Amino acid sequence: MINKKVDNISEALKGVSDNMTFMFGGFGLSGIPENAIADLVKRNIKGLTCISNNAGVDDFGLGLLLHQKQIKKMVSSYVGENDEFERQMLSGELDVELIPQGTLAERCRAAQAGFPAIYTPAGYGTEVAEGKETREFDGKMYVLEHAFKADFAFIKAWKGDAAGNLIFKGTARNFNPVMCGAAKITVAEVEELVPVGELDPNQIHVPGIFVQRIFQGETYEKRIEQLTVRQMST
């Protein structure tokens, strides 16, 4: 069995440099690779193209990279609750490619499966389809979308083993599974790292074949993106 375990975050992120393209799992603040992002902030590498559903919030997640002007381009579906993301996009400081959420997921999955492109009906007849090949199938029009090409994919899972097998928990099982294996190198951080054989094979969501490096994260804040409460009736 190949041992994918690395001892620390520095070893896990070996090879990252300026002007690379990174994928980041997560949806909002759920299932984001907090330790990997924190280390990228410390390294202060620049000119990054980041593929992620959104860019976190102003003071957490990918928002930390945005504040340091480390991101050159965001490829995402949602500006969300990040005021700095919105400001940089509207001012022209940040190149932003907004993609329908399903298309974003499928372009990740195409890269994971080794497909060069997919056809999707999403976006046909809109600005999304401008300059792209379109084709009719069974009387319905589709847009050709190319698979992503990324240098690293940073993934967050609940539990994993030394072979890279992963189990996600709750809504953290969002963009993380489809980004595994969709880049040249997939780095998975987990809350609990166990020896090979301890995970029930029937519970594994992503097999280790899609992961090159795995490490146990040190701390996780697990913030709530939007706390919504209501008054109790008396």
pLDDT of residue 113: 96
Alpha-carbon distance of 215 to 226, in angstroms, equals 29
Identify whether the C-beta of residue 94 lies closer than 8 Å to the C-beta of residue 71.
yes
pLDDT of residue 232: 76
| pLDDT in single tens digits along all 234 residues of the chain | 789 999 999 999 999 999 999 999 999 889 999 999 999 999 999 999 999 999 888 889 999 999 999 999 999 998 777 889 889 999 999 999 999 999 999 999 999 999 999 999 999 999 999 999 999 999 999 999 999 999 999 999 999 999 999 999 999 999 999 999 999 999 999 999 999 999 999 999 999 999 999 999 988 877 777 778 888 776
pLDDT of residue 228: 80
DSSP 16-44: --TT-EEEE--BTTBT--HHHHHHHHHHT
Looking at 68-137, which runs of residues are DSSP E strands? Answer: 71-76, 95-98, 117-120, 134-137
Domains of the chain and any CATH numbers = 9-114+148-216 (3.40.1080.10)
